[in-house]
Amino acid sequence: MPPKKNPLNLNPLQLKTLTLFQELARWAGPPEADGSVRLDELPRPHGDHFHVGDAVALTRDATGLGNEAVWVALERKGLIRSEFPHAAVITAEGLAYDTGMRNQILHRGHH
Which CATH number goes with the domain that contains 18?
1.10.10
Question: pLDDT for 63-82, tens place per residue?
Answer: 999 999 999 999 999 999 99
- Label residue 110 by pLDDT band (50, 70, 90): low
Overall domain count for the chain: 1
Provide the 3-class DSSP secondary structure of residue 49: strand
Please report which confidence band the pLDDT of residue 2 belongs to, taking 50, 70 and 90 as the band edges.
low
**15 in helix, strand or coil?**
helix
In a domain, 109, yes or no: no
Q: Is residue 96 part of a domain?
A: yes
Question: Is residue 5 assigned to a domain?
Answer: no
Is residue 4 one of the residues assigned to a domain? no
Which residue range(s) make up the domain with 59? Answer: 12-104
The pTM for the full model equals 0.93
Give the pLDDT confidence of 84-100 residue by residue, as tens digits: 999 999 999 999 999 99
Q: Is residue 29 part of a domain?
A: yes
pLDDT average, residue stretch 45-49: 87
DSSP 48: T
Is 39 part of a structural domain of the chain?
A: yes
